[in-house]
């Protein structure tokens, strides 16, 4: 469903209890500085992406009198305190724009977890509470696309490693993982944000909202490719006896497109691969002007991917590449889009390698495993206040819960540096502004830095030490 304009109101795009927090700070509070980080979790690294979409869609829209009225009615209806004076002041003093400055690491950057990614501070001491007020919306805008982007990036390293070990076609890397996740997410907005995050790493997607998001918020040009694919409705409509005719029809209809992904598990996957693709339609496939994909959509992913590759080799033959691995003829490939996750993908490649099969025999697609199988705790994202200025005096603040040490937060105003190839979060005053990789991207309603999608891709593809992801990859295979 479409949420409508009322959901764009930043005053209500938050937890209700945020409205009662401003009087809880010490008297004389002037500035609050907070930061966002991944505190660790499933992935050892973080690929930062998504902040610009939020800034452009929400914080560059001024608060209006109508927004204040709507928020006041809603909060008082809930029995929650509401300070109308605070919000009328933002309208009158700042034209409706939140008086905050946000600085961040360059989008697309990959760095180890537990480093600062974003830092926020108010710019007007009268509105010190603004820093934490919109935490709910800001953290959500960062953790979700960044987690999806990180998951996608980790898969990219899995695929890169497999291609480097067994294939002559490492240059195909950006084409090897397709986004099929639109139907598996909780909302169109999730499809948009997660979809654009994946496109930083790969150029393949059927998630239209993600493509549009990359173009809208990051000026992406031609960010994605796709091609004719089949669905079971179109094949079952021909009846079980008409399966051959259904596949033949698809190959004829999409011949000029030079690409056809054929579902092979509508009834009996093994029979379809061996006796239909590799039998009755063999000559038609050999003469197809492009690529035919045999797409199993059920079964145990590791075995079915390797078995299908070998069955196709039995029918169409193979060559041996320079690394000694078997590769199908260029007109036929396995396209595996069922059960693909960050955990299953390494096992699939390990099995292909064990059988002497090159990694590029198969192309993959991910759905819910890419865009939906994550939450804020996947990489333990949090926004925490780290410094407060009271009556002109800055104080370090942090939390340190006895029971869960990973929740211990950082203290002080922060900076991010890279020293001898290693990212480090340090105190802001300990380094020069030129060393600080956090750069102002937003201040008082204005976008200070506009990232282009090509810059995100370039940053994400910067070389990183293999140890950043190797232990995770090894653990996934074992």
pLDDT the model gives residue 2: 57
Q: What six digits make up the tokens of 351?
A: 């099995």
Percent of the chain with pLDDT over 90: 92
Residue 122: give its domain's CATH number: 3.20.140.10
What's the number of domains the chain is made of? Answer: 2
The span from the CA of 265 to the CA of 294, in Å, is 9
pLDDT the model gives residue 1: 45
Closest CA to 142 of 169, 180, 116, 181: 116
Please indicate, yes or no, whether residues 287 and 405 belong to a single structural domain of this protein.
no
pLDDT the model gives residue 402: 81
Strands (E), 4-157: 29-38, 45-47, 100-104, 110-112, 116-122
| Residues linked to residue 178 through DSSP beta bridges, in sequence order | 204, 365
Q: What six digits make up the tokens of 232?
A: 């079971």
Q: What is the mean pLDDT of residues 285-310?
A: 96
Predicted confidence (pLDDT) at residue 68 exceeds the cutoff of 80: yes
The span from the CA of 272 to the CA of 263, in Å, is 9
Within a 10 A sphere around the Cβ of 73, how many other Cβ atoms? 12
Say whether pTM exceeds 0.85: yes
Please indicate, yes or no, whether residues 382 and 367 belong to a single structural domain of this protein.
no
pLDDT the model gives residue 5: 76
Please indicate, yes or no, whether residues 228 and 327 belong to a single structural domain of this protein.
yes
Please give the mean pLDDT across all residues of the chain: 95
Domain end, chosen from 339, 371, 403, is at: 371
Q: What is the mean pLDDT of residues 75-98?
A: 95
The span from the CA of 365 to the CA of 337, in Å, is 4
Packing angle, helices 135-166 and 344-354, rounded to 10: 0
Q: What is the mean pLDDT of residues 158-178?
A: 97
Please indicate, yes or no, whether residues 339 and 449 belong to a single structural domain of this protein.
no
Please indicate, yes or no, whether residues 101 and 176 belong to a single structural domain of this protein.
no
pLDDT the model gives residue 473: 84
Considering only 86-100, 144-158, 257-271, 400-414, which range has the smallest mean pLDDT? 400-414
**Under a CB-based contact definition with an 8 Å cutoff, are residues 127 and 369 in contact?**
no
Q: What is the mean pLDDT of residues 189-197?
A: 97
Which residues constitute the domain of residue 308? 168-371
pLDDT the model gives residue 140: 96
pLDDT the model gives residue 7: 86
Whether 335 is covered by a domain: the verdict is yes
Please indicate, yes or no, whether residues 199 and 328 belong to a single structural domain of this protein.
yes
The span from the CA of 437 to the CA of 337, in Å, is 38
pLDDT the model gives residue 253: 96
Q: What six digits make up the tokens of 175?
A: 């084409």
Q: How far apart are the first and last CA of the chain?
A: 42
pLDDT-derived band at 452 (thresholds 50, 70, 90) equals very high
Q: What six digits make up the tokens of 429?
A: 């005053």
Domain end, chosen from 341, 371, 401, is at: 371
pLDDT-derived band at 392 (thresholds 50, 70, 90) equals very high
- For 325-374, how does the pLDDT look when each residue is reduced to its tens digit (9 = 90+)? 999 999 999 999 999 999 999 999 999 999 999 999 999 999 999 999 99
């Amino acid at each position: 469903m479409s949420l409508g304009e009322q959901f764009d109101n930043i005053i209500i795009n938050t937890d209700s209890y945020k409205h009662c927090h401003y009087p809880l700070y010490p008297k004389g509070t002037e500035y609050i500085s907070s930061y966002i980080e991944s505190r660790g979790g499933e992935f050892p690294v973080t690929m930062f992406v998504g902040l610009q979409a939020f800034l452009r869609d929400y914080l560059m829209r001024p608060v209006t009198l109508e927004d204040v009225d709507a928020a006041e009615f809603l909060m008082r209806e809930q029995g929650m305190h509401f300070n109308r004076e605070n919000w009328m002041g933002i309208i009158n003093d700042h034209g409706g724009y939140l008086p905050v400055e946000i600085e961040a690491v360059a989008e697309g950057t990959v760095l180890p977890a537990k480093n600062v990614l974003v830092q926020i501070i108010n710019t007007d001491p009268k509105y010190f509470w603004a820093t934490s007020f919109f935490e709910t919306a800001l953290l959500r805008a960062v953790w979700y696309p960044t987690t999806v982007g990180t998951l996608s990036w980790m898969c990219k390293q899995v695929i890169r490693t497999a291609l480097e070990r067994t294939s002559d076609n490492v240059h195909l890397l950006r084409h090897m993982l397709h986004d099929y996740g639109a139907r598996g997410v909780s909302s169109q907005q999730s499809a948009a944000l997660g979809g654009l995050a994946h496109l930083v790493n790969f150029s393949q997607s059927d998630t239209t909202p993600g493509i549009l998001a990359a173009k809208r918020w990051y000026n992406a040009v031609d960010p994605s490719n796709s091609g004719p694919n089949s669905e079971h409705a179109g094949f079952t409509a021909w009846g079980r006896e008409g399966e051959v005719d259904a596949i033949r029809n698809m190959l004829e209809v999409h011949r000029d497109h030079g690409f056809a992904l054929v579902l092979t598990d509508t009834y009996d996957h093994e029979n379809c691969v061996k006796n239909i693709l590799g039998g009755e339609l063999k000559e038609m496939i050999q003469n197809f002007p492009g690529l035919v994909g045999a797409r199993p959509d059920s079964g145990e992913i590791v075995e079915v991917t390797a078995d299908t590759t070998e069955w196709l080799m039995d029918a169409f033959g193979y060559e041996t590449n320079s690394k000694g691995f078997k590769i199908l003829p260029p007109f036929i490939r396995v396209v595996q889009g069922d059960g693909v996750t960050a955990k299953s993908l390494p096992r699939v490649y390990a099995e292909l390698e064990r059988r002497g099969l090159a990694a590029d025999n198969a192309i993959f697609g991910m759905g819910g495993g890419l865009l939906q199988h994550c939450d804020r705790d996947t990489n333990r994202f949090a926004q925490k206040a780290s410094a407060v200025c009271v009556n002109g005096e800055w104080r370090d603040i942090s939390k340190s819960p006895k029971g869960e040490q990973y929740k211990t937060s950082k203290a002080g105003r922060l900076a991010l540096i890279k020293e001898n190839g290693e990212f480090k979060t340090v105190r802001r005053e300990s380094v020069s502004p030129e060393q600080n990789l956090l750069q102002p991207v937003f201040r008082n309603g204005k976008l200070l830095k506009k990232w282009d999608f090509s810059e995100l891709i370039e940053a994400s593809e910067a070389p990183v030490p293999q140890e950043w992801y190797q232990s995770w990859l090894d653990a996934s295979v074992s």
